[in-house]
Structure formats: C-alpha cells, structure tokens
C-alpha cells in the first residue's frame, strides 16, 4: 500500500474496512502530517511580507523542517502497517511452539518502534507550531491552532500504539523504559500544544 499515491477517500475506505491495517498508528501519522502541512502553509503566507522580513530566515528554517517531518510522517503510515503484519502473524503461532515467545517479542518491539517515531516527530511538529505562532503571519493564527491540535492528536494516538505493544512484552525493563519515555514526551508536549491552542483561541474570545 502506497498511501502517498492514494486518494483521501481510498485511504479512509481502507481505514474503515474490517482489516488490521491501516489502523490507529497509521492514522496518527497521517493526522500528524496534515498538522505539519498547516505549519508550512502558515510560513508560505508569511514569506515575502515586509512586516515579517526580519524573521523570514527563521520562518524558512521552520518550513524546511516541517516539510521534512511531513514527508517522514507520510512514509510512516505505510511503515506502521508493514510493522504490524509480522506481529499479527506471530500471534497466530501455536502456543506450544518453543520459540513463540521470542519471536513474538521481536515483533512487538518492531511494532512499537514505528509509533514511537511518530510520537517523536509529532512532538517536534508541536514545537514548530509554537515557533510559527511567534514568527508567522498573525492572519494565519487559526491555522497554527488547527495544525497544533492535529499534531496533539497524533501525539496521543502514537502513545497509545506504543503502549498497546509494550503491554504484551516479556522484557519488562525494555517495556518500562519505553513507557517512561512516552509518558515524559506526552506530558511535556501536551502542555506546549495546549498553550499554543489557548493562545490562539484567546485571540478570538
């Protein structure tokens, strides 16, 4: 499945279908990509305006990073599906197979790695929105707010998809360490996203 070549409708049909992939992880990546695209859009409406000439280099840097994140998140939609397929097969291994636990553990770690990357990129995208709120066109603030909400959603969705895998791991030290990283990232960036949203919303109240 090449998500980049699909229409929105085709992807949504696949997401709604009774099939294991795409699922919540891939949807989180796509939502994060949408949010990050809005960050770039705000930058495009800022460049070339005399009022923002002093910060134009900073805005360009934000846009460059946003585009890199957007591209990677879109690729992770398919990578999340690819990582889940071996796990789905591993769960069907007969329980009396001597290497079942080991094989399942490998698949769980691989399946958790993709949403962890989605989570990290969503965190970075949230910070880009914070910076774009400061430097971008004030006429585009609602788009910054919308974009950060999308990345905020991607953050939570990715966190859930990490933890659904760590919950089944037998390597408890590995699972607990990964969960601790998730919790710290969610808490830090939840606060940033909320602050951006409240700042934007406050301008309309």
Please write the tens of the pLDDT for every residue from 101-116. Answer: 899 999 999 999 999 9
The predicted structure's pLDDT at residue 1? 66
The predicted structure's pLDDT at residue 94? 82
- Would the pLDDT of 178 be above 80? yes
Please write the tens of the pLDDT for every residue from 35-65. Answer: 999 999 999 999 999 999 999 999 999 999 9
Q: Mind giving me the DSSP string for the chain?
A: --GGGS-HHHHHHHHHSSSSSS-HHHHHHHHHHHHHHHHHHHHHHHTT-GGGGGGHHHHHHHHHHHHHHHHHHHHHHHHHHHHHHHHHHHHTS-TT-TTHHHHHHHHHHHHHHHHHHHHHHHHHHHHHHHHHHHHS-GGGHHHHHHHHHHHHHHHHHHHHHHHHHHTT-S-HHHHHHHHHHHHHHHHHHHHHHHHHHHHHHHTT-
Percentage of the chain modeled with pLDDT above 90 = 84
* Structural domains for the chain: 20-202 (1.20.120.680)
Mean pLDDT of 188-194: 98
- Would the pLDDT of 4 be above 70? no
């Amino acid at each position: 499945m090449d998500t980049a070549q699909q229409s929105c409708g085709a992807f949504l049909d696949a997401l709604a279908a009774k099939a294991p992939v795409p699922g919540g992880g891939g949807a989180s990546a796509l939502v994060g990509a949408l949010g990050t695209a809005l960050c770039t859009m705000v930058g495009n409406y800022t460049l070339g305006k005399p009022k923002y000439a002093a910060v134009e280099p900073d805005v360009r840097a934000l846009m460059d990073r946003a585009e890199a994140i957007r591209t990677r998140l879109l690729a992770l939609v398919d990578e999340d599906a690819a990582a889940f397929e071996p796990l789905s097969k591993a769960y069907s291994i007969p329980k009396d197979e001597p290497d079942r636990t080991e094989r399942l553990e490998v698949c769980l770690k691989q399946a958790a790695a993709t949403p962890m990357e989605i989570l990290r990129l969503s965190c970075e995208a949230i910070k880009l929105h914070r910076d774009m709120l400061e430097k971008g066109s004030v006429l585009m603030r609602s788009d910054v707010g919308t974009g950060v909400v999308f990345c905020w959603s991607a953050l939570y969705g990715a966190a859930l998809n990490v933890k659904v895998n760590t919950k089944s791991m037998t390597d408890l030290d590995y699972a607990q360490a990964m969960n601790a990283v998730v919790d710290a990232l969610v808490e830090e960036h939840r606060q940033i996203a909320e602050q951006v949203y409240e700042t934007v919303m406050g301008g309309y109240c």
